[in-house]
Structure 1
Amino acid sequence: MSAVRWGVLTTARIAQDRFLPAMHKARNATASAISSPNGRAAEVAARFGIPAAYSSHEELLADPAIEAVYLPFPNGLHAEWIIAAAEAGKDILCEKPLVGSLEDYARVVEACQRNGVSLMEAFMYRFHPQHQKVREFIDAGRIGQLVSMHARFHFVMDRSPGEVRLQTGLEGGAVNDVGCYAVDIMNMVMGRSPASVYAKGTSPIDPVETTVAAILDYDGVIGTLDCGFEGPRTNTFQIIGTKGHITLDNAFDPIPGDPARVTVSLRDGSTEVFDVIEDPFRLEIERFSVWARSAGQEVVHQELTEQNLAVRLAIHESLAAGLPRNVEPVHAVEHHLLQEQ
């Protein structure tokens, strides 16, 4: 099978630092075009050996050679460009979080269904083999019945002028930028969203929350998350069971070439350590390229996407109210919204 021809909309830092280097290693994908209205597309194209550079995203979407696109826009622009890409008939890998509202979710799903294209929220960490190993340990009963889960994702943000992650109008804030990973991994482990959440946040100098902690109640299993832009870099995850616990030292953003360590500690005092090296961006690109060439269309990992949106909405409601909030399933609301259109 020939390589899937990808277009990259924008010269965003994540595209240059992680996505395009991973694309060079992918076995079934190639970067064929990049676009940016800021005049940098040609420079980035030359650096990565990309054949076509466009000065507008509309030009790239009109290129009939492009099969799939990667959208690393600021969060608040995701829905607009997902719909534009769907109308152009491109399969879409959009950076997390997919959208920030039920209305936008209904709109993008309808556009993708109507145009017969696939859509996936780009949580690249899901494809790292360390998480498959964790699933195997849990399913095999190695740590017994699950008791609690604890996810942390922090880094110190460079507050340069125009930083999009600090803008309310672009759906910035710690929950949407890093807390969404913590939500996603706990939903993935449990296979469902929590029944309720209770969140507290701070934003000393910014209009969005910059540090957040939350309790997620999975009806018998408690999850906690803390995330933000103020503290030293950490992205860890721990699952505690009745017979032991599993710890991931680099759960969400392992650097290619660096080991992601999985430690299993059991109640009898024994410990097993596994170092797993892989580039999750490469694996994500390869998997989505297979979906792009499939006969059908789908929202890939739709259940996880809907669960993540439902929990983030509840967390933001809890932050605003200072009270616990129930998590309402997204799919029922989304279907209702689609019927009204």
Structure 2
Amino acid sequence: MSAVRWGVLTTARIAQNRFLPAMRTARNAVVSAISSPNGRASEVATRFGIPVAYTSHEELLADPNIEAVYLPFPNGLHTDWIIAAAEAGKDILCEKPLVGSAEDYARVVEACARNGVNLMEAFMYRFHPQHQKVREFIDTGRIGQIVSLHARFHFVMDRTPGEVRLQTGLEGGAVNDVGCYAIDIMNMVMGRAPESVYGKGTSRTDAVDTTVAAILDYGDVLGTLDCGFEGPRTNSFQVIGTEGQITLDKAFDPQPGEIARVTVSLRDGRTESFDIGEDQFKTEIERFSAWVRSPGPELIHRELTEQNLAVRLALHESLATGLPSTVKEIHAAEHHQPVQEHS
């Protein structure tokens, strides 16, 4: 089976630091073009051995050699570029969070269905095998019944001029940048969205909330998250059950070469740890490329995308009102080519 020919739109940091290095080792994918109007595409193309550099994204989308595209744009630009890529007939891997409103979600789903292209929200962490281990422990009853979930994702942001994650007009802020991971992993473990969410956000100097904490009410299970741009890097996750607990020390973003540790601690005092290494960007690229070649059940459903959006909208409402907010279901119109997710 031939390698899927990818185009990368923009020379964003995540593309240069994580996606393009991972692409070099992917077995079924190759970057055939990169685009940027800022004049850096040629330099990045030379550094990564990419054969074609375009000075506009429109030129890349018009290239008939490109089959799939990676979109690492600022959040507020996702919708328009997803639709543009769909209209160009490209399969689309778009960075999280996919979109910021139910209306935009309906628009991108319709565009992809109408043009017969695949779309996936790039939550790369789901492709790390540590989460399969967590699922195994839960499904086999190793920790009993789930009681609570606790997710944290913090890092110190480099406040360079024009930082897009600090701009309200580009859907910046802690919830959309890192809190979405915490929301996603709890929904993935529970298999559903919470009934309601109650959050509090703060910021010392910025127009967006740069530190956020929230409670997610799943009825019989409570989830907590805290996230932000102000504190030392941490991205941990814990599942507490009636018979034990599971702890992940690098739940969302182990750096290249880092080992992620899954620890199971039981009520009887026994503890087991499992060290797992994987480049989750590489696995994400390979799985999406396999899906491009042969769409099927391995990448399933769009529910996680819909649940994540629903919870983020409720959390933003709670942050604005200071009150708990009900999580309202979001469903795009049914169609033959669903937005697919790994689970």
Structure 1 length-normalised TM: 0.96
Distance of 1:172 and 1:301 partners within structure 2: 27
Percentage of pairs with the same residue = 81
Distance of 2:213 and 2:37 partners within structure 1: 37
Bigger drift between 287-296 and 265-274 goes to 287-296
Report deviation, 1:335.
3.2
* Cross-structure match for 1:178: 178
Assess if the C-alpha contact under 8 Å between 2:264 and 2:271 holds in 1.
Answer: yes
Report deviation, 1:292.
1.1
Distance of 1:160 and 1:254 partners within structure 2: 24
Distance of 1:102 and 1:184 partners within structure 2: 17
Assess if the C-alpha contact under 8 Å between 2:166 and 2:208 holds in 1.
Answer: yes
Quick one: which amino acid aligns to residue 308 of structure 1? N
List alignment gaps of at least 5 residues for structure 1.
Answer: 337-341
Quick one: which amino acid aligns to residue 88 of structure 2? A
Distance of 2:160 and 2:5 partners within structure 1: 34
* Cross-structure match for 2:267: 267
* Cross-structure match for 2:340: none
Secondary structure in structure 2 of the residue aligned to 1:335: coil
Cα offsets for 1:150-183 (capped at 9, x unmatched): 0000001111110000000000000000000000
Q: For the structure 1 residues 200 and 279, does the alpha-carbon distance in structure 2 shift closer, same or farther, using more than 3 Å as the test?
A: same
Residue 169 (structure 1) aligned with residue 169 (structure 2): yes
Q: For the structure 1 residues 109 and 287, does the alpha-carbon distance in structure 2 shift closer, same or farther, using more than 3 Å as the test?
A: same
Residue 11 (structure 1) aligned with residue 24 (structure 2): no
Distance of 1:198 and 1:234 partners within structure 2: 22
Report deviation, 1:225.
0.1
Report deviation, 1:58.
0.2
Distance of 2:37 and 2:252 partners within structure 1: 31
* Higher relative helix content: 1
Q: For the structure 1 residues 298 and 306, does the alpha-carbon distance in structure 2 shift closer, same or farther, using more than 3 Å as the test?
A: farther
Aligned counterpart in structure 2 of residue 335 of structure 1, from 333, 336, 342? 333
Report deviation, 1:72.
0.1
Quick one: which amino acid aligns to residue 10 of structure 2? T
Quick one: which amino acid aligns to residue 222 of structure 2? I
Cα offsets for 1:203-230 (capped at 9, x unmatched): 2211111000000001110000000001
Report deviation, 1:116.
0.2
Report how many residues are paired: 334
Secondary structure in structure 2 of the residue aligned to 1:224: strand
List alignment gaps of at least 5 residues for structure 2.
Answer: 335-343
Distance of 1:299 and 1:194 partners within structure 2: 23
Q: Root-mean-square deviation (CA), in Å?
A: 1.4
Cα offsets for 1:43-97 (capped at 9, x unmatched): 0000000010000000000000000000000000000000000000000000000
* Cross-structure match for 2:339: none
Bigger drift between 45-54 and 297-306 goes to 297-306
* Cross-structure match for 2:118: 118
